[in-house]
Amino acid sequence: MEKQLDLAVIGECLIELAASEKLEIADTFKKSYGGDSVISALMASKLGSETAFLTKLGNDGFGNYILESLNNEGIDTSHIEFLPEQNGVYIVARVQGDKNEFYYYKRKSAATKLNDDDITEDYIKSFKCIYTTGVTQSLSLCARNAVKKAFKIAKENDLITAYDPNYTSCFMYSDESKEFLEEILPYTNIIFMSMKNDAPHLFESSSYERIAKQLADYGVETVVIKSRLDGGYYTFYNGEMRFCEFFNKLPIMDLTASGDAFNGAFLHAVITGLNPFESAKFAAVAAGLQAAKMGAVEAIPTRDEVLEYV
C-alpha cells in the first residue's frame, strides 16, 4: 500500500534559461526550472501539503538538477523515471516594465513519453487530490491517455480532481484544447480557467454564469474563473457565485506564474478543509505575493509570507 499523500500533480518540468534583458542583446542566462504544473506543485508543498510530481525526466545533464531541486523543496519524486531523451527547455527574458519574451523547445522531450503504464490504481488512490493541466495533455497522445486514466481512477475512488485548460497558443490549438477539456470534464471536480486565455478558445460565450453552468452540467462542482479585466476571481460553487479581488497590497512585478501559484494554493486550502470561497481568498494572497517578485520558482512565497497577509 502506497503512503498516503495530499496532492499528486501530473506534468512536465522544464529547464528555464532566463535573461534580465531583451533576448537580442542578452549575453547571460540564469538556469532554473519551471512549468505550469510544477509551480502549482511547489506552491502547495511550500504551504504544507504533501505533494508528489509525476513526470519523466531526460538523462541529459539537466535531469539530476531537476530531481535534486524538487527533492530539496519537499516534493515526492519516487515515481519519476529517467529516460535517454532530453528535457524540455524554455527561454525567457524578464525585463521590469516590459512584456516577457517566451520561447519553448519541447519537441520529443522525456515528458512526452509519460503513458498510462505509469498510472496505477494503488498509486492514484494514495492521494487526496489529483491535478493536471491541458499542457500535460498536449505533450503527446500517450500523456493524454495517462491523464485520463488517472482522473478516471480518482473519480471512481471519490478523490478530488482538479484541472486547468491553460490554453497556450504558441504550442496548442483551440480545437485540440476543446477535445482535452471535453475528455477530462466527466472526471473533474474543480476547474480553473482564464477569462482572457481559455474562455475565447474553449467556449462560445463570454458570460461567467453561462460558462459555469455549462461546466456544472458536466458535473463539475467548483469553477474558478480568473478575470484580469475585472481584477479578481469568480468562484462558482453549490449554485452560488462570489467574487474575490486580486491581492493588491504589493506592487506587481511579474504575472507569469501567478495563476499557477493560485491553483496550488487553492488546492492546498481545499485539501485542508476550507470551502471553495475561502480557498479563493487564501489563494489570491499567494498569487499576489508570487506576482510581487520577478521569476517563476524563485518567486513562490513561503507559508509564513502567505499567512502574514491572510
Give per-residue pLDDT as tens, 262-283: 999 999 999 999 999 999 999 9
The answer on pLDDT for 1 being more than 60 is: no
The answer on pLDDT for 195 being more than 80 is: yes
Lowest mean pLDDT among 170-174, 207-211, 271-275, 292-296: 170-174
The answer on pLDDT for 204 being more than 90 is: no
- Grid coordinates representing 23? 533576448
How many structural domains does the chain have?
1
- Grid coordinates representing 53? 510530481
Lowest mean pLDDT among 192-201, 218-227, 286-295: 192-201
Q: Establish if 25 belongs to a structural domain.
A: no
Domain of 298? 5-12+36-54+115-309
The answer on pLDDT for 235 being more than 70 is: yes
Q: How many whole angstroms separate alpha carbon 80 and alpha carbon 110?
A: 11
CATH number at residue 136: 3.40.1190.20
- Grid coordinates representing 310? 491572510
Q: Establish if 229 belongs to a structural domain.
A: yes
Q: Establish if 79 belongs to a structural domain.
A: no
Identity of residue 241: M
Q: Are strands 51-54 and 240-245 parallel, antiparallel or unpaired?
A: unpaired
The answer on pLDDT for 173 being more than 60 is: yes
Nearest of 121, 29, 133, 118 to residue 78 by alpha carbon: 118
Q: Establish if 83 belongs to a structural domain.
A: no
Residue 170 has what pLDDT?
A: 72
Radius of gyration of the chain (CA): 18
pTM value?
0.96
Q: Establish if 139 belongs to a structural domain.
A: yes
Where do we find the cell 480557498? Answer: 279
Q: How many whole angstroms separate alpha carbon 276 and alpha carbon 267?
A: 9
The answer on pLDDT for 302 being more than 90 is: yes
Q: Establish if 84 belongs to a structural domain.
A: no
- Please list, in sequence order, all residues whose beta carbon lies within 8 angstroms of the beta carbon of residue 98, skipping any fewer than 6 positions away: 22
Residue 2 has what pLDDT?
A: 57
Helices (H), 190-297: 199-202, 208-217, 258-271, 276-291
- Please list, in sequence order, all residues whose beta carbon lies within 8 angstroms of the beta carbon of residue 27, skipping any fewer than 6 positions away: none
**Quick one: average pLDDT of 97-121?**
93
**Quick one: average pLDDT of 8-33?**
96
Q: Establish if 31 belongs to a structural domain.
A: no
Sheet holding 30-34, edge to edge: 30-34, 14-19, 89-93, 101-105
- Grid coordinates representing 186? 466527466
Residue 3 has what pLDDT?
A: 64
**Quick one: average pLDDT of 53-70?**
97
Q: Establish if 216 belongs to a structural domain.
A: yes
Classify residue 262 as left (phi > 0), alpha (psi -120 to 50) or beta: alpha
pLDDT averaged over the chain? 94
The answer on pLDDT for 39 being more than 60 is: yes
User: Long-range contacts made by residues 104-108, C-beta under 8 angstroms, separation at least 24?
Assistant: 104/14, 104/170, 104/171, 106/12, 106/14, 106/139, 106/171
